[in-house]
Amino acid sequence: MTSSDAPKKPSAAGMRRNLASYGDPGFSLFLRKAFIKAAGFSDDALDRPIIGITNTFSDFNPCHGNVPRLIEAVKRGVMLAGGLPMEFPTISIHESFSNPTSMFLRNLMAIDTEEMIRAQPMDSVVLIGGCDKTVPAQLMGAVSADIPAIQLITGPMLVGHHKGEILGACTDCRRLWGQHRAGTIDEAEIEVLSGRLAPTQGTCMVMGTASTMGCLVEAMGIALPGTGTIPATHADRIRAAEASGRQAVALAKNGPKPSELLTRAAFRNAMVVLQAIGGSTNGLVHLAAIARRAGLGIDLEEFDRIGREVPVLIDLKPSGDHYMEHFHWAGGMPRLLKELGAHLERDAMTVSGQTIGAIADAAEMVPNQTIIRSADAPLKQTGGMAVLRGNLAPGGAVIKHSAASPALLTHTGRAVVFDSVEDMVNRMDDPALDVTAQDVLVLRNAGPKGAPGMPEAGYLPIPKKLAQAGVKDMVRISDARMSGTAFGTIVLHITPESAVGGPLGLVRDGDMISLDVPARRIELLVDAAELERRKSEFTPPAHLTEPARGYRGLYLGSVLQADEGCDFDFC
């Protein structure tokens, strides 16, 4: 047999990728085609580059309510560019419909996304995500699967209105609920408000985690420029989907793959943007997880240094006053990138084929807008977040100081300790609780393993009797997370968490705690010998010593701490 007579080795593209194993690749391909033809596909269609599209629509996820229309437009774009679109389902996670927490499920979605990309034949993939955990999960999965990928964001919802006031989910959900707790909004009005805070499909429209991730995917170059901020309900959102589908075909042919795109420079740009937008603290955890998948990791000290140099330039709630649709019409991410100038790694590549520098140079210069500030007139003089260390947080902690009370950033107070989320719920509003506005509220056993699932419980409510007396903010510290939409002088992600023996578990009621954000310190003012004695009495929470089955068992046994992104150790 001459070489020209030899059976052609199937090239690993299109339908020939990732064949099911029957011990005969030719038969595997034959069988696959036989089955897919049952759906009416022609040979011409099946010979095209195959573009996977993640379908994350769910009736339980209104943040993804526009996904069917986006898929339709992505398919149009793919076909206009000569590819074959193939939509497939993955898990969808909504913040309010995920028990115990969406963070508990993020890694499950990452595994699902990775394995479905890996198992099925596709030459590139369009990741459609939006609600907080979905985009990080998709990127974690896509980085590990490492075929060309493009992120399409579902987009922020439009603002709500009530009594002449503009409302945004969920910064105003918390503010108004606080007023309800304090007795200034009655039962009937809070019911009315529940219908006005989230008036359209799409993601929360303040600078919460979803909006933060929408900005970061542009900063990392894995979404088309300008697409991270378009409102969910606008025609431009549909056009962005079509354009993403088109570009996915180009990526299928020429790359780059996530491993080529998500470089140290891309993560540096993401850290710069995270500081400049006053982004969600959750964004830092997710970045750490994505970077770890890329074999890199996030250096918390570098992130803090960036925060000292890069001011907050975006005037959005909760750090400022406006909403995502205003940011978008002010020029969106390209304009922010332009204002960030020399802070960026300009040569970092993007899925569009342009560098970040070229995208910044081409930004639309909207006249008279005040949402995207220049470095000469920033919203805050420094970045949104600071990384704290000290004997309470040897592995680090984070504070969003752009949304904190300036007067509390240097504060020493008496600890009022809650041993768990349940303990906090039971006792916080007890009129007999020994607490003053100068105290430091401490919540523990609310970290990745402790709760489990690291709930967004770090925004401890102000004790009712203090709220009714007009107290709006107190220093609050925990190993929990906080919604990106929340505000206050709140120290989060204390690492290591108390449930695995971290020093937060050693705090007793009445201990003095010192917070010094300018010096980046958080200290428990108890002598070392006493702390050693308390350490010898430590016992982990019961759920960490009892056998656990299924995904919960996998999670409890494998989840890492916040500084490593709360990914699983084996991922």
Under the rule (CB under 6 A), what is the footprint of ligand FES?
Answer: 63, 94-95, 131-132, 203-204, 208, 210
CB nearer to ligand FES: pick between 81 and 169: 169
Q: How far is the CB of 224 from ligand FES (least distance, A)?
A: 20
CB nearer to ligand FES: pick between 208 and 245: 208
Q: Is 35 exposed, middle or buried, given 0-12, 13-18 or 19+ CB atoms closer than 10 A? A: exposed
Q: Which residues pair with 412 in a beta bridge?
A: 514
Tokens 């560019």: give the residue.
Answer: 81
Q: How far is the CB of 417 from ligand FES (least distance, A)?
A: 30
Q: Name the residue among 172, 358, 148, 389 with its Cα closest to residue 257.
A: 148
CB nearer to ligand FES: pick between 229 and 352: 229
Q: How far is the CB of 156 from ligand FES (least distance, A)?
A: 8
Tokens 């599209």: give the residue.
Answer: 53
CB nearer to ligand FES: pick between 159 and 467: 159
Which H or E run contains 28? helix 25-37
CB nearer to ligand FES: pick between 75 and 133: 133
CB nearer to ligand FES: pick between 95 and 523: 95
Q: How far is the CB of 198 from ligand FES (least distance, A)?
A: 8
- Torsion of Cα atoms, 189 then 195 then 196 then 198, to 10°: 140
Strands 397-399 and 490-492: what pairing?
antiparallel
Q: How far is the CB of 95 from ligand FES (least distance, A)?
A: 4
What is the token pair recorded at 429? 């509003």
Which H or E run contains 135? helix 134-145
Q: How far is the CB of 211 from ligand FES (least distance, A)?
A: 8
CB nearer to ligand FES: pick between 94 and 174: 94
Entry field: residues in the chain = 571
Q: How far is the CB of 56 from ligand FES (least distance, A)?
A: 12
Q: How far is the CB of 537 from ligand FES (least distance, A)?
A: 40
Q: How many CB atoms lie within 10 A of CB 7?
A: 8
Q: Left (φ > 0), alpha (ψ -120 to 50) or beta: where does 384 sit?
A: alpha
What is the token pair recorded at 279? 């982004």
CB nearer to ligand FES: pick between 63 and 397: 63
Rounded Cα distance, 541 and 556, in Å: 12
- Do residues 152 and 126 touch, judged by C-beta distance below 8 A? yes
